[in-house]
Structures are given as structure tokens and as C-alpha cells.
A and B are shown apart, each in its own frame.
Chain A
Amino acid sequence: DTAVSQTPKYLVTQMGNDKSIKCEQNLGHDTMYWYKQDSKKFLKIMFSYNNKELIINETVPNRFSPKSPDKAHLNLHINSLELGDSAVYFCASSPSSTSVANTGELFFGEGSRLTVL
């Protein structure tokens, strides 16, 4: 049973399209995240939700809109895709919003590889 699962694993789409990525965790964690990893492997936080409430919103374009229907699910919708959005998007979860900075307990999904043509 996969702890953090995200779908789809691969997306190839044209510029200007809209796409969504879904994430689910079965670890019972309170906090979920979206990270973006660019071609140089640099991993940067985008959003974090704690028990469905948005707690971290980095300087991400408004075209990116996260949604957390419950604490086990976190989705990411991207409007008007641009070439620079091509990256691997990782969903992650942690037991709490405070524990991650102390223990690094962050559980990642396998990533969703987005290619914008």
C-alpha cells in the first residue's frame, strides 16, 4: 500500500492548457505539501496545508491553485500552462506542520513529471 500516491505520474501537454495533479496519503498525517523539482534537481516548496488549512504559500504564480478537500488529499490545479512549468511536482506529507523542521519527517510521493510543449 503506497503511503503517498499521486496521479498522474506523467503529463505532456501544450502551452495554455489547464491540468490537475491529485495526491492522497494514507499515513494519517495532518500536513501535506506540494514541492516543485526543476531540471537541476532543485526542490522548492510551493504550498503546505495543515488539516485542510493553507499554512504556506510561497511566491507561486496565481495560475497554481491547491485544494485540500480533507487532510488525506491535496490536489494541484495549474491554469494556462507555460514552458517554465515543466518540472517534477512532488506531493509530501508530515505528521505535523512543526515536526518537519525538527526531524525532517517528510514522506514524498513518486512525483508527477509535467512536460509543457
Chain B
Amino acid sequence: QKEVEQDPGPLSVPEGAIVSLNCTYSNSAFQYFMWYRQYSRKGPELLMYTYSSGNKEDGRFTAQVDKSSKYISLFIRDSQPSDSATYLCAMDKGNKLVFGAGTILRVKS
């Protein structure tokens, strides 16, 4: 079993929809949780990070962590075609990050 599990998708939604992307993890020692966005043929770029449980909002993006369930989510409001990308979650393990396999998101106009 991988330490971080993520549904690969693809997830297809119409423009303007609310998108929910999720990861589950098995290591209760994880404390920092990140979301990266990766466009096709590009490197991942950091979207948001959160520490421990709770919510964090940045514009149309909200990251949510539920440590008791070992479950994290990224919500995208008013999704746009430009949000079409692969979204990877990542968690801290010592001085490195463990990544999920990514969820492909397609927002149709």
C-alpha cells in the first residue's frame, strides 16, 4: 500500500462547477500537506500548503485537512478551463515530500 493514495481520474466537470480533489494517507506522522498543479508537459508548481488539521483559503482554492480521518481535500470554486491540469497532493516525511500519483482534472467550457 502506498503512503499516499489519490484517485487518478480523469475528473471531468463543466466550467463554473465546484471541484473536490482528495487524498488519503496512512502515515499519521505527516503534519504538512501540500497541493501542486501540473500542466501537461510542465513541472509541478506549488498551489497551497497547510499545517495539521483545518482549512486554508486562497482565492478560488480551499485546502482542507482532516487528520483524524487521514484525509485531505482541495476544493476549486468556479472552475475554469485553465484549471485543467493534474493535481498532486504531497506530505512531509523528514526533509522530503511524499507525493500522490495525481488526479487529472478537465474543465469543459
Contact = CB atoms under 8 A, between A and B. Distances in A.
Interface of A: 4, 40-45, 48, 55-56, 90, 92, 97-98, 100-111
Interface stretch (B20-28, B66-74, B75-83, B86-94): B86-94
Interface in B21-78: 32, 34, 36, 38, 41-46, 49, 51
27 contacts: A40-B8, A40-B101, A41-B88, A41-B102, A42-B99, A42-B102, A43-B44, A43-B88, A43-B99, A56-B95, A56-B96, A90-B44, A97-B95, A100-B97, A101-B32, A102-B32, A102-B51, A102-B92, A104-B34, A104-B90, A106-B46, A110-B41, A110-B42, A110-B43, A111-B41, A111-B42, A111-B43
Interface of B: 8, 32, 34, 36, 38, 41-46, 49, 51, 86, 88, 90, 92-97, 99, 101-102, 104
- Mostly, the B contact residues are strand
Given A40-B8, A40-B101, A98-B95, A104 B32 contact: yes
